[in-house]
Amino acid sequence: MTSNIACGPVITSGDNDAISINSLTFGYPGCPPFVSDFTLKLPRGSRCLLIGANGAGKSTLLQIMAGKFLVPEDAVRIIGRPAFHDLQLTSSGELSYLGSSWRRDVAFAGYDMPLQGDIGAGEMIFGVDGVDPARREKLIHILDIDLDWRMNTVSDGQRRRVQICMGLLKPYEVLLLDEITVDMDVLGRLDLLEFFRQECEERSATIVYATHIFDGLEPWITDVAYVAEGKLLRGGKKETVLPSAGSRKKLLLTVEAWLREDYEKRKETGSWAPVQTTRTPANMPSKHMAFFR
């Protein structure tokens, strides 16, 4: 079994790097690569905003970082370890991924709990073993969860709050987020961002957050990674990537300008990114296959 994967020269990860992606090129078998020569390094404690148009490759990149696809060991390192090959990373919770497939399938991977079954929020949250009670109570308060909620009767936004709580009950070192707050109201979203900020500053956790909702993010982020057609076009510390002057809306205006510029370039050259899919092809080596090796 082969896949269209390549990796450039190895770059030694620094001791302080939480995420190190080194010249990664990735594609599904039989298809041209849609992640090309991608390099990104984030030190511990970073809060990186992953930006790009629909189909730019953000979700695929997050899934690769989450160890869901087979890539060379030195292509993607999470806290110094290979994301796909080191199963302990995800099973221990050191590396946590909350994304689209997570939202559809289960409240928290491994606990086999239905998202819309007739079960109480409290039963789900308190059913997870090995959790710090203070952390659990803090998350319940931040996310404004009523423990008497029934999962088959609550709104999508309320169900999302329970899901997020489940996914954050155990401390992580690296957290990958793919549009998880889309159904949350403004206050809930801002409170959650503040919790994430504290996690990064107090525990040196590292977060990569892909979203199209930029309200309140400018003072929150430390790093920016702008992706187009599977390539990192702009990346680095917020201070070096974003304009130094302007209003609190400069992030939105800057990203809008980047998107329009790239759109016009693709329109002129006839270069359009291939359609991305978050569904794994049947012949694509994935983390699920790792358990049958």
The secondary element (H helix, E strand) that includes residue 209 is strand 206-210
Q: Are strands 206-210 and 174-178 parallel, antiparallel or unpaired?
A: parallel
Q: Average pLDDT for residues 11-32, to the nearest whole number? A: 80
Examine the domain organization and report whether 78 and 196 are in the same domain: yes
Examine the domain organization and report whether 48 and 183 are in the same domain: yes
Tokens of 119: 């079960």
Examine the domain organization and report whether 200 and 284 are in the same domain: yes
Examine the domain organization and report whether 196 and 267 are in the same domain: yes
Quickly list DSSP for 127-138.
T-SS--HHHHHH
Contact between 178 and 60 under an 8 Å Cβ cutoff? The reply is: no
The Cα–Cα gap between 29 and 182 comes to: 32
More confident residue, 218 or 137: 137
Examine the domain organization and report whether 257 and 196 are in the same domain: yes
Examine the domain organization and report whether 132 and 270 are in the same domain: no
Question: What domain count does the chain have?
Answer: 2
Contact between 233 and 221 under an 8 Å Cβ cutoff? The reply is: no
Please report whether residue 280 resides in a domain. Answer: yes
Examine the domain organization and report whether 88 and 218 are in the same domain: yes
Please report whether residue 100 resides in a domain. Answer: no
Q: Average pLDDT for residues 247-255, to the nearest whole number? A: 77
Is the pLDDT at 152 greater than 60? The verdict is yes
Examine the domain organization and report whether 149 and 179 are in the same domain: no
Of 143, 171, 199, which closes a domain? Answer: 171
Examine the domain organization and report whether 192 and 270 are in the same domain: yes
Examine the domain organization and report whether 9 and 146 are in the same domain: no
Judged by average pLDDT, the poorest of 95-109, 158-172, 179-193 is 95-109
Q: Average pLDDT for residues 263-276, to the nearest whole number? A: 67
Please report whether residue 261 resides in a domain. Answer: yes
Please report whether residue 99 resides in a domain. Answer: no
CATH number at residue 271: 3.40.50.300
> pLDDT-based confidence at 80, cuts 50/70/90?
very high
Please report whether residue 266 resides in a domain. Answer: yes
Contact between 221 and 207 under an 8 Å Cβ cutoff? The reply is: no
The Cα–Cα gap between 216 and 22 comes to: 31
* Residue range(s) defining the domain that contains residue 81: 4-94+175-288
Burial call 63-78: b when 16+ CB within 10 Å, e when fewer = bbbbbbbbbbebbbbb
Q: What is the pLDDT of residues 97-120, one digit of tens each?
A: 998 655 444 444 344 455 567 789
Tokens of 189: 């979203």
